[in-house]
Structure 1
Amino acid sequence: MAIYHMQAKVVSRGSGRSAVAASAYMSCSRMYNDYDGIQHDYTRKHGLIYQEVLLPPMASPEWKDREQLWNAVEAAEKTKDSRLAREFVVALPVELDKDSNISLLKDFIQKNFVDMGMCADFAIHDTDGHNPHAHILLTVRPLNENGTWQYKTEKEYLCIKNGEEKGFTATEFKAAQKDGWEKQYRYKVGKKKVYMTASVAQEKGYDRIDKHPKSSRYGRQNPISEQWNSDEQLCIWRANWADTVNEMLAHNQINASIDHRSFADQGITEQPTIHEGYIAQNMEKKGMIADRCEINRQIRADNQMLRELKAQVEKLAQAVKNSIPVIAETMETIRNHMIFTQYHLLHNEMQKEVIHDWMNHFNPILNKYNTVKKKLKAKVTERKELNVEKEKTSILNPIQHIKLNQQLTTVTEEIEELKSRKEQLIFQAQCSTDKDMTNLSKKYDQMNSNLDILDSQDISLKKQLKKDAAAFREEKFRPEPEQYTELLDTRIQIRPNFRDKLIEQLKGTFGKYYDYHRRDIAANEVDYLNVEDPDVFSHRAWELEYQRKQEMRRNQPARAKKRSYDMEL
């Protein structure tokens, strides 16, 4: 199924990246970076389907070689935090074949990037045949007509005239200076450093601190770069990608489409899932629970419940005659969702108790271990200092030697005692080495972080529970008072099916951590929250069952009598 995915990133030295490395990765090639002298080799990477470099007319033809292109980019940027390139990662439709995807991508890049003056380096990847996607690497510095790089930002001097401050570039200032605009410099006024013009400072006899005039913090951005970097332009590119893909799908007579808008803008009330990433997925494969996957499971469960609720709402609108059955189904659906949410809260509470118990057990051990470790380090340092002092002490000073030997003996005994204490603490922590204790300390920090995650989850779950309770009350009081018994009977009849659905959902979400006792507790707490008495349900269910059996008994003799009459004939 065609999906919309367009991720925009910036390749920056400030984040430790390089344009050469990014290009080598996506083209699965070996490239040498002249800027830092590092060779990036990704020739062993699999999944490359297609790669190409597209250039605007003013660009040097030599830049068709991506290594020369990105080394030219690296050479043009001088600062340690320079923005080197803009990168897009887009998902390609699985419904299209290789040639169609290449044509689609080249058309989009040419019209949206190259025609605007950018050099574009792109590659298509598909490792497993089910995830075709493209990496697009773009230059961020505009080109002059002669193929040289333009400036991204230009220094802007903040000049003053008659109390008004205004920014000028170096070229603009030459003309503005004739109109009376002056640059501002820093001058020493007592203990303060104040910006003022040279004419004012000369009148008051102040000394200038440095030769750097006052300027705006980021300078004046190149208007072309400013357009490329704007949020508005990014929105245009996102929309154009959706339009380009949809046109290609329609051209190939494929009944599918994508939309660049968010769920909210599309009017979809479902919550979007988050990107899990390969690290989280690998953790899940190893039997661990990844936070991102856990969040997505909750989102999918909520969305499933939301879809069911929406379906019930549609039934309410369409079925007036069957209003009581529909209301009953809606109430049971909401109740199921509330029980699921309450179960999740109880599950989180159990997890927090386990974490707290674990932390309470190991916290004093770790604290004592760290204290002993610090003392041991201090004593070892003290012993070294005493040994150095002893070596420096003359043999003609026996009294000092005796004193130092006594101190060394005492310190050595203390060191051995601390070592013994440290070994005891390591044993108490069920560890073997200092490295194990370091890992235990890291695990302790991770547990603390997990508590914060669980607390955050609890807040959102409680909000959802409150919202569901309000919806349940609204449905509960929708029928007329004389219909309450009918509604109760209908809910009793359908509840077993809903209970089975809930159990299946809980087992699917929590797996081996599912506990039916916790489910019953969650159900009781939800009924209490909804002001419903389980005994009323039980008693009414018993009455209905009794009535059913009585009806069967009344019908039984009639059937027997009829059978006897038939035999006589």
Structure 2
Amino acid sequence: MTDMAIFHMSFSNISAGKMRSAVASAAYRSGEKLFDEKEGRSYFYARSVMPESFILVPKNAPEWANDRAKLWNEVEKKDRRSNSRYAKEFNVALPIELSNEEQKELLTKYVQENFVDQGMVADIAIHRDHPDNPHAHVMLTNRPFNPDGSWGQKSKTEYILDSHGNKTKTAAGNVKNRKIWLVDWDKRGKINQWRHNWAISVNMVLEAKKLPDRISEKSYLEQGINEVPTKHIGINSKRHERANFNQQVKENKKLNAQYNNVKEKLGRKRHLDMLSKHFSFNEKKLVKELSHELKTFVNLETIDDKRRMLFNWKNSLLIKHAVGEDITKQLLMVSQEENSLEKADQLLNTVTDRTVKKLYPEIDFEATTMAERRELIKETNSEETVFKGAELAERLAAIREDLLTQQILLFTKRPYVSWKFLLNSEENEKNVLEQVLETQGNTLEDLRHAKRGILEEYTPKQQQLIARKIKEIRTITQIKQVVKTQYQAILQRAFPQGELDRLSITKQEQAYTAVMYYSPGVKPFNQQDLKRWQTEPPVMFNSTEHQQGLACLSGKIAVDQLKNKHLQLVLRHDGTRQLFLGECQTDKTIEKSQIAQAQQKMNEQREKADQYRGQQLNNYQPTNYKPLKPEQFLAATFSNAIMRVLYVRNEEIEKRKQQKGLKETEWEMTKKQRQHQIKNRHEGGGLHM
């Protein structure tokens, strides 16, 4: 009897303080003979089954990082303290339901996305000493690389300053300082995140192969499951004892299966209660059919996860096709599930609108998007309450601001930065991809034709790089579409007479920022008001809110502590945050030092955020937001040229009115002249009695 898929992942540190050698550890796991320069000796551990070992390196790593002996000797040279941590290591069980190649592909993709793309070098060794216990040991570097390939810093010291920017001291006279981590690899909760991501990666592969098993990093207690967990049988001396224990657990599970099924159905019913009241009989039947086709219960939460899973699955299939595999059946399955997903989306949209009309009759459908209404129903379900009045308006404003980030996260973990960044990133990814393709005489156009086997001539390392770049480009394309849709949805409501397609996306981004700052309810902007605002911008917040906002930006209070929900949203976005600072400059009750302190804190936070994004994102370029007074921003955003585009139909109407008015005026002006001409004609040539 063989075990089914299990979750096993344990982390540990390889450190000098525990008298462990990084070189010896790498030699033991890889089965390779390695020379330790510090000790002047070689390490070799003979194995009956040779491990399958390989190294993955981030983009800034030097060439020697691909050499196992050189890599770990350099690590030990750099970290010489008696308690230095040379490496982080994790041991992970591989699903026995997968073939050796599938196990390797799963592990490689997971390590690349979770560790290597963040800046770590990963030394991987897959052990297959026993057929029932395939597992991998992965050693990870603790220190990042600089752009030039040299070792970077894990942390830096920051002095604690007073309100005047001077260093502060302790009672003993020592200068106060704090340690600032430049990488988040040792943060509390990071290991839990990595464990969670492994469970997601495995489950996606098992689902793609139509296998019923799923794993979770959580204990039964954390999952709320009232069952006794089985024990991993493994290959040790207690194998038979554990097998008997597991058999008893399975029998107990069988006895409780019916109870758990009923409990699950009740949970689903409660979860969908708001929507289920508004399903017709035929719609309930369709939900059941679509849930069977999609292999997940159809509701507003699961449908987004399913869309992301299909997106990733299709990416991997296209790469397999490019290296010569026949993926006809799998692509057909993806296509069928995409069709089912579209039907489920349409059904949920119909029922969501029906539910919103019933629960929120005061909502103007033309002033909200379908996505916003779905999010509103999600929150209504989650909090089991119907929002009213000001609270409803605040909810919609928060949903509107958060929706863009949520939609982007369906496809990627990449944080949204700016449209310019997306274009630069896309161009850089294409350039790298073209360079690799040129080595075998291929182009991007050849890839677009999806010719089967086009990548067969490339090395495995090149294939892996091409696969990553194709996924990046497809992801950026999806994100660009999401951003365009979001901007146009908001701007169309703010400028219903505009021709937005004539505006560049960068200009739309500026207008979007202004709308989110000056009109959280997204009501149509008045042309005359905008022209007046360029010299006299409206003040959105009072002096108390200015003080609170500056205290928040200075790190004295958390943004969630602010009572004004609109102010919370404004302070979470770089663009609107600068407008807030500009507005504070016009408040006579605010001292310049308060604004300067807030700007200094923001700059520090932005530097840390840019460092993090630089490690997370390929080709990252910081977006430098400059403090702008509202009138400067509004004058640049709503220039005369842009105003003509935003109010093009209004201008045409005004032009037609003016033309009509001129014609009427001309008619009136010539009326007397025509009458005089007629009178003269009658007097000169008519017959009179």
* Shared fold per TM-score greater than 0.5: no
More strand by share: 1
TM normalised by structure 1 equals 0.41
TM normalised by structure 2 equals 0.34
**Which protein has the larger Cα radius of gyration, Structure 1 or Structure 2?**
1
